[in-house]
Amino acid sequence: MRSGVGKALRGSRGRAASAPIAEAVVSGRRLSRTQRERLAEAQALASGGLSERRRASVIIRDVERELAAARTSEAVEAGIEDTLARARKRGEVIEVETVEVGAWRMNEDGSMTRRNGQIVLDVQTVRRASRIDGLASLYKAGSINDRTKRSGDAFRVLWGRAQPPMAVSDYAPKAGGGRCDPGQMLVQVALSGSAGAVISEIGQRLDDRSFQVLNAVAGRGQTIRSLGDGGDLKVANRERLVAALGVVEQVLSEPKWRGLATQAR
């Protein structure tokens, strides 16, 4: 038998089959009541014939798999906590959701594991973390209103469109003789140029710092806090952002730039 669970069984050898496993901790993990009962069953089966010993081995493998999964889960959880702490230190807003996920337990031969005739469903509680971008977090906190948020969303679209299109090498002939449509690249270049022209005009009407804040928060999705953690600095950057989004709204209301922005979308 394997070291951890096998040791637990050997520790109870000689006791009645119905007695609980003497060692409630295996490889640093405390066994649950159900696990102790199943190992007691395996202990009784281990002294029987070939089929009983096989059944005992299956039970032991199941318990060992559960213990290994629990250790992995703890390691993942520790990694998540470290990642979240680092992200929050950078000023990022993280939303964490706890959900339960289930999966049918499978045997090594690909068949479903059964216990007392019932298919075994393994259910784990996991946490899912997602990054909330700066613009959304400000809106959620009530720091910007609907109108300002719409200007920010419009700038986000322009900012994404203004990013350089794929490199020419991405349109090179591919294995098998296929080639991307060169017209696609021209469309991307045109969209990027239109969006870039509008963003350039917005930048011309802002001071450098305000334009940096606008690009960081409304463009890349950074949080205000990530631009500086001091209370006064956060307030100043939030005011810069709100004022910059006002300029975005103004530029997009002018026919020339509204037309280019429409083309870029």
Q: Of the given ranges (200-209, 229-238, 240-249), which has the lowest mean pLDDT?
A: 229-238
**Quick one: average pLDDT of 64-88?**
72
Assigned token pair, 133: 């971008």
For residue 43, pLDDT beyond 70: yes
Could you write out the three-class secondary structure of 235-258?
HHHHHHHHHHHHHHHHHHHCHHHH
Q: Of the given ranges (68-77, 106-115, 128-137, 222-231), which has the lowest mean pLDDT?
A: 68-77
Most confident of 35-39, 43-47, 73-77, 210-214: 210-214
- d(CA 246, CA 214) in angstroms, rounded, equals 11
Asked if 135 contacts 221 with a C-beta cutoff of 8 angstroms, the reply is yes
pLDDT of residue 16: 45
For residue 14, pLDDT beyond 50: no
Report the candidate in 241, 196, 238 with the shortest Cα–Cα distance to residue 218: 241
Most confident of 26-30, 35-39, 106-110: 35-39
- d(CA 237, CA 216) in angstroms, rounded, equals 11
| pTM given for the model | 0.53
Domain ranges of the chain: 3-132, 135-264
Report the candidate in 105, 121, 123 with the shortest Cα–Cα distance to residue 113: 105
- Residue-wise pLDDT for 100-157, tens only, equals 777 787 777 778 888 777 887 777 666 666 667 889 889 988 999 999 999 999 999 9
- Residue-wise pLDDT for 149-202, tens only, equals 999 999 999 998 888 765 544 545 555 555 556 667 777 777 788 888 999 999
For residue 41, pLDDT beyond 60: yes
SS3 32: coil
Q: Of the given ranges (47-51, 119-123, 236-240), which has the lowest mean pLDDT?
A: 119-123
Q: What element of type H or E holds 25?
A: strand 25-26
Q: In whole angstroms, what separates CA 90 from the centre of its chain? A: 17
